[in-house]
Chains A and B, each alone.
Chain A
């Protein structure tokens, strides 16, 4: 969570500087700057995820050296999951919490001609992002562990795609649907990487031992 926060800080710093340095009246330019800010932020988040991976790697080495039987009490997969959840929670909290606070107060949604489904779609989008961050955490760490660069690039590309799809808002079908599809794909992929299989799933669902 902290790492995500720091990445957010740095990216907003860049954006802020860019905005201050540019002409506030120029609408397309501002929009362009915003898009640039978003993409830069996505890249920075992934960079910080990588840095976090490096930190955790070192920590695991220390733990292994310390423990008696040569294996660490917490595996890298668990750490990947936790890292993903941390990122997701932080990004979700930052996206949603002001909305939630405002929703407690009086007002009408979309009274100025904006979409009336604003809160609903924000909620769904946030949820899908949190899940995605969790899965991306697992995929990313797995890729880093086994040096599969294509996994890492896939995660980055997915993140960029999801953020980019939100540019279609308020045409929600353009952003929510692809995001959910991507989430399903990432979920399946992460599940397979974590050692699951169709058999396991069937056994779990049918409550066999």
Chain B
């Protein structure tokens, strides 16, 4: 068994930690809607029809409630308008989440199907030391379970470590750590990926060109993700690094371990976010207490936040709005590693830093984005990619897993409407995905193959 090179291992670590953290903190962050209160129950029905993300707003309810205490009472007429707006924007937000998740999966599946490198077995990570080349089924199962236990414990340790760092305000450390891991992702993994793609299509490229391309790609990526940049570019970069990370997982996780890890991580996600002593929940609460936003590099945000904070904070409308907005931001963020300053967070989000926000209503009517942790992207893509790689070359399985994951995402957003607090996005989708993968691979495939060979249609 060849382990991955040592230096890469240490580099892997922050990445793994980060992704695990993200996955664990996967509650899809809903858009913030002020004043959305009691009508959520009714909205649930509506949501089921459209599977809209208006369910999203209830999550903000928690934030809204918190912020309400510091904000003047809103008129009820505003609330009614809010409901309508929520519905309209809710559907948009679901689509806003569908598109990036779909894109990430498409990139992963396309790469898996075409580039041979990612399906070759070339060793394993040190996090999964047990090999699966054992003769007996029982032994293989045992090895995969042990691998999972090790991986999950690594993730738990990292998460707890991060929570502690956050609690004791070691912001610089976290900051540096995240920059290091995104550096590695953007440069090293892109280099490997590009190399393999060029090999597959037999395209010659010289080193200076390669260096130029990768340097530009990486530098722009770092700026976009950690600082300011056009929103779509930032989204594209986040999707790309999620896809790269997912490809690494697909390549280096042995088969059975991968499935067991997927299952285990969704259970962990569930517990970490919902249990009172769960690390992620503590992160959320600490962040909310301190009114701090989460580090932007680990969350996918789907829309611009017209930042009230960027307006003069001493304007009358700006003041309370900023407070509520920040509180909403906190509730929204998944990753609790705080960015160094609120202003940085706001800057990342605002397209027009000097846009004056004059009225509170204006703030509410503007587009609220949706946020989803990058870990979710990664694990969804791992599931679909594994399905594409190992399901006997069958596209039906891939398609079924894809649909299952998207439906799971919709249901999660729906539950968000019902429960009105941070929820993990992994469990439902991954469960559906796993169920559909195994059932489609074993049950539907022979049926469809037989039908196709007789050219029967159902």
Residues of A within 8 A of B (CB): 1-2, 5, 8-9, 11-13, 15-16, 19, 34, 37-38, 41-42, 45, 55-56, 58-63, 65-68, 73-74, 79, 90-91, 93-95, 97-99, 101, 118, 121-122, 125-126, 129, 162-163, 166-167, 169-170
Contact = CB atoms under 8 A, between A and B. Distances in A.
B277 interface: no
B447 A93 contact: no
Interface stretch (B46-54, B204-212, B231-239, B246-254): B46-54
B443 interface: yes
Contacts of B46: 59, 62-63, 66
B436 A5 contact: yes
Contacts of A5: 400, 403-404, 436
A53 B396 CA distance: 25
Interface string B435-458: 010011011101110111011111
Contacts of A95: 448, 452, 457
* Shortest 5 CB-CB contacts between residues of A and residues of B: A62-B45, A59-B49, A12-B447, A169-B455, A63-B46
Given A65-B42, A169-B454, A59 B399 contact: no
Dominant secondary structure of chain A at its interface with chain B: helix
B215 interface: no
Given A12-B446, A41-B458, A98-B452, 4 more contacts: A2-B407, A34-B451, A101-B395, A166-B455
A114 to B, nearest CB: 9
A103 to B, nearest CB: 12
Contact of A1 (B47, B403, B440): B403
Interface string B72-85: 00000000100110
B289 interface: no
B436 A66 contact: no
Contact of B443 (A12, A45, A98, A121): A12
Nearest to A62: B45
Contacts of B451: 34, 38
A68 B458 contact: no
B403 A62 contact: no
B361 interface: no
A167 B448 CA distance: 15
A122 B448 CA distance: 14
B15 interface: no
23 contacts: A5-B403, A5-B436, A9-B436, A9-B440, A12-B447, A34-B454, A34-B456, A59-B45, A59-B49, A62-B42, A62-B43, A62-B49, A65-B42, A66-B83, A79-B49, A90-B403, A91-B458, A94-B396, A98-B394, A98-B395, A98-B452, A129-B457, A169-B456
A38 B458 contact: yes
Contacts of A73: 87-88
Given A68-B80, A68-B84, A170-B455, A9 B394 contact: no
A101 B398 CA distance: 13
B39 interface: yes
B44 interface: yes
Contacts of A74: 49-50
Contacts of B396: 94, 97-98
A182 to B, nearest CB: 13
Contact of A93 (B42, B399, B439, B454): B399
B79 to A, nearest CB: 12
Contact of A66 (B39, B48, B439, B452): B39
A93 B42 CA distance: 35
Given A38-B458, A41-B458, A90-B403, A58 B395 contact: no
Nearest to A66: B42
Contacts of B88: 73
Contacts of B443: 9, 12-13, 16
Interface string B378-403: 00000000000000011110011001
Nearest to B450: A34
A66 B396 CA distance: 39
B43 A66 contact: yes
Contacts of B393: 101
A131 to B, nearest CB: 13
Contacts of B446: 12, 16, 19
Nearest to A63: B46
B343 to A, nearest CB: 38
Contacts of B49: 55-56, 58-60, 62-63, 74, 79
A73 B83 CA distance: 13
A2 B403 CA distance: 7
Contacts of A34: 450-451, 454, 456
Contacts of B50: 59, 74
B76 to A, nearest CB: 13
Contacts of A97: 395-396, 399
Contacts of A94: 396, 399, 448
Nearest to B407: A2
A94 B401 CA distance: 12
B246 to A, nearest CB: 22
Contacts of A101: 393, 395
Contacts of B456: 34, 38, 163, 166-167, 169
B94 to A, nearest CB: 14
Contacts of B399: 93-94, 97
